[in-house]
Chains A and B, each alone.
Chain A
Amino acid sequence: MTEGTGKHTVTVITPARRWPALRLNELWEYRDLLYLLAWRDIKVRYKQTALGAAWAILQPVLATIVFSIFFGKLAKVPSDGFPYPVFAYVALLPWQLFSFCLGESANSLVSNHNLLKKVYFPRLIIPLATVLAALVDFGVAFVVLLILLFSYGIVPTAASMAFLPVLVLFAIAAAMSVGLWLSALNVQFRDVRYTLPFLMQIWMFATPVVYSSTLVPQKWRALYGLNPMAGVVEGFRWALLGSAKGLGPQVWVSAGTVALLLAGGLVYFRRKESTFADVV
């Protein structure tokens, strides 16, 4: 811990305690580093790829096209009365934010192992930086969403749009709640990284992205909410399309799940933090 006394800051170094303090205020001190790591990831990604920023648009658009053809037209999955492309895209937006965040943060500690071994900073910065990077892609895809909505003549109400930042935060929190666990686990157990793509595929089908949560019978709806992304996606559908059909107890269950997982993730991460430099 660090306190300022007299003219020098005093830092005391002791062996790690079983339940170390969260020290979230330290994150604010290191905000420059947080921003810079995110900036580095974005810059490097765009320098190395040929498509660059177009990638942020291509992913949701292509997915929407494929889903519209196979789920919308051919399988005739009901879409709450909305045109299927819009229905799917609105859900793909937070879903891809979540999946990108989760995927990047899970491996973030291992891929930054050289920093872990040579410099001190609160290690939470590393998975958090992936969030910032993901938000950039989200922003770009969101603009495309607005274009899509207007072209279908759907205008979301100002009141529900006001909730959008909260929902974005919800999506990020959901990603972090799992990401913190996975990134800490991945340092010790490398199979996390390999199971993740598989996990994300399954998870997407467990989330109402290509279908509406009205597909799930009423009595199971609350249990369904244990999937945090269920609540997020329905929240987005409500805010942007005005569709309240999916809302209900599941949103609150999702929120509760996220809160618990996030708190647990923070504690687990901090507990394991002292071993990162030794094990990675």
Chain B
Amino acid sequence: MNEIAIRVEGLGKRYRIGSQERYRTLRETLSQKLSRIHFRRGVKSAYRQSESIWAVKDLSFEIGHGDVVGIIGRNGAGKSTLLKILSRITEPSEGHAEIHGRVGALLEVGVGFHPELTGRENIFLNGTILGMRKAEIAAKFDEIVAFSEIEKFLDTPVKHYSSGMYVRLAFAIAAHLEPEILIVDEVLAVGDLAFQKKCLGKISDVSREGRTVLFVSHNMAAVENLCRLGIVLDHGKQAFVGCIQDAACHYYDSLPGSRHPEGHIFDLSDAPERQSDIGKLLTRIELYTEDDRPLTGELRIGERLRIRIYFNLPSRTNSFDIGLGFNNVFGQRIFTAHSLFEPHRSDKARVGPQVLVCDIPEFTLTAGTYTMRLWLDIATEEADLIEDAACVTVMQSDYYGTGKVPWNGTFVLRHRWFLEEDGECSTKKYLALTSGKSSS
């Protein structure tokens, strides 16, 4: 039975916004206070009427020792505010929290760094600011320098460092903080890929040592891979607490659809950029995913994409075909789906409204937003064409199931790696490995 590391009950934080400016001058405050005394008849001053928003409200959850928890939500959901409250940087407006253990908060990389001081001096400065004792820093000094890979520049003022060196040094110091509870806020947004990998590796080491980790990041694959539990925040409220996969699903489902308020339905009756000689034959597109679930959010790499195309055929149509082109943000055509490629076509063409379904079992394009160009050909002549009929966004996800997110490239392909033995590729082994094609 896990002991509790963090217990939160009814936590809330309110900020005043609106008519009250942040910096006021003494003169304004005094004159306001004086006028309130003067007009004692309860004239509401601007101060009283200023609006306030609850950045977080009614948060209640428990985190046990050794848990690795991902806090996810859209921008503005209250994730950073929650971390600030738990790190004691800001105080809650209501509720209370209990923390068992020493907290190390990484809310920004390189906090307190002074550009005029050398790397060596900044190690001590930053380390102390983060909460380490001077003796502790001295003991770990060599490890920190080795981790950051800046031995040669240790005695150069930090203002001469490249941004990569800066961030490596900052993270190296933070990585050697050994708190019982580690709170990390989107520090991975800074830095190149190699750095991000190093960060993630270090954070996962920390969690393997049995320390508690609270992790906020928009890198969903990292969150899903590192964390066991997830807390979803939505507009300051606690939307979900549970295992990370369910939390991630909850988060994805809550993301709004791209152009249409209903998310998965694209009404084509008013579509701009349309070329139609005969008339507006294409009426609607609907997007679905696995199990015919409406696709209201983002698609994961390799998930099923099913497109329902609603259209009308005029009378005396002999044959028709529908094409669907997927373009990336640069306007490059990545993939074309066309009904011509379907082996089991019926020859007869019905007249009137109908639905043609395009089913893509594995949509293996990499992360990004793809716009769909839709056209209807009647008797091999273009009858209706719409640019940007709909769009689908694919999110970074762990396609290969090994915790690593595919990056670069336009699409992903299933592949295996194995060592050759004795200079031969044993046929039996090869067949055995590749026979189960869709299993990993």
B81-89, B161-169, B259-267, B402-410: which lies at the interface: B81-89
Scoring A residues 1 to 38 as 1 if CB is less than 8 Å from chain B, else 0, what string do you get?
Answer: 00000001111111110000000000000001100100
- Asked if A218 is at the interface of the complex by the 8 Å CB criterion, the answer is no
Closest Cβ neighbor of B102 among chain A residues: A9
B120 to chain A, nearest CB (A): 12
Of B98, B124, B128, which is within 8 A of A12 by CB? B98
Residues of chain B within 8 A (CB-CB) of A8 are 100-102, 180
Report the minimum CB–CB distance from B436 to chain A (whole Å): 48
Interface string of B267-308 (1 = CB under 8 A from A): 000000000000000000000000000000000000000000
- Asked if A11 contacts B88 (CB within 8 A), the reply is yes
Q: Which of B84, B102, B124 contacts A36 (CB 8 A)?
A: B124
- The reply to whether the CB of A43 lies closer than 8 angstroms to some CB of chain B is yes
Q: Pick the contact of B87 from A12, A114, A120, A278 — CB < 8 Å? A: A120
From known contacts A40-B125, A191-B26, infer whether A114 and B99 are also in contact, taking CB-CB under 8 Å. no
Give Cα distance in the complex from A116 to B85, angstroms: 13
Closest-CB distance, A4 to chain B (whole angstroms): 11
Distance, CA A8 to CA B101, complexed state (A) = 5
Q: Which residues between 88 and 112 of chain B lie within 8 Å of chain A, taking CB atoms?
A: 88-103, 105, 107-108, 111-112
Which among B17-25, B325-333, B354-362, B383-391 touches the partner chain? B17-25
A191, B91: Cβ atoms under 8 Å?
no
What's the dominant secondary structure at chain A's contact region?
Answer: helix
The number of inter-chain residue pairs (CB within 8 angstroms) is 110
Query: When chains A and B are docked, how far (Å) is the Cα of A33 from the Cα of B276?
Result: 72
Cβ of A190 < 8 Å from any Cβ of B?
A: yes
Q: B98, A118: Cβ atoms under 8 Å?
A: no
In whole angstroms, how far apart are the Cα atoms of A188 and B116 in the complex?
29
| A279 closest partner in B (C-beta) | B22
Q: Which residues of B contact A278 (CB under 8 A)?
A: 15, 90
- Would you call B27 an interface residue if the criterion is a C-beta within 8 Å of the partner chain's C-beta atoms? yes
Contact B117 A114 (CB under 8 A): no
Complex Cα–Cα for A118 and B89 (A)? 7
CB closest chain-B residue, reference A274: B91
List chain B residues, Cβ under 8 A from A32.
Answer: 128, 133-134
Contacts of B88 on A, CB cut-off 8 Å? Answer: 11, 13, 120
Known A-B contacts A120-B105, A191-B25; the reply to A40 vs B117 at CB < 8 A is: yes
A117 at the interface (CB under 8 A from B): yes
B160 to chain A, nearest CB (A): 13
User: A277 contacts which chain B residues (CB < 8 A)?
Assistant: 84, 89-90
Does A115 interact with chain B (Cβ within 8 Å)?
Answer: yes
Determine if A114 and B90 form an interchain contact, defined as CB atoms under 8 angstroms apart.
no
Say which residue of B25, B100, B107 sits within 8 Å of A118 (CB atoms). B107
Determine which of B23, B84, B94, B129 lies in contact with A115 in the assembled complex, contact meaning CB atoms within 8 Å.
B129
Instruction: Judge whether A119 and B90 touch: CB under 8 Å.
Output: no
Return chain A residues, CB-CB under 8 Å to B117: 40, 43-44, 47
B23 adjacent to A40 (CB under 8 Å) = no
Determine the distance from Cα of A43 to Cα of B117 in the docked complex, in whole angstroms: 8
In the complex, A203 has a CB within 8 A of chain B? no
Q: Is B29 in contact with chain A by the CB < 8 A criterion? A: yes
Instruction: Please tell me if A189 contacts chain B, counting CB pairs below 8 Å.
Output: yes
Within 8 Å CB of A201, what residues of B? none
B-side residues, CB < 8 A to A, are 15, 22-27, 29, 84-103, 105, 107-108, 111-112, 114, 116-117, 121, 124-125, 128-130, 133-134, 180
Extra A-B contacts (6), CB below 8 Å, given A10-B99, A115-B129, A189-B23:
A12-B96, A36-B124, A40-B121, A119-B111, A119-B112, A120-B105
A-B contact pairs, 25 of them (CB 8 A): A8-B101, A9-B101, A10-B100, A11-B88, A11-B103, A14-B91, A14-B96, A15-B92, A33-B129, A36-B124, A43-B116, A44-B114, A47-B116, A47-B117, A118-B105, A118-B107, A119-B107, A120-B87, A120-B88, A120-B105, A189-B23, A190-B25, A277-B90, A278-B90, A279-B23
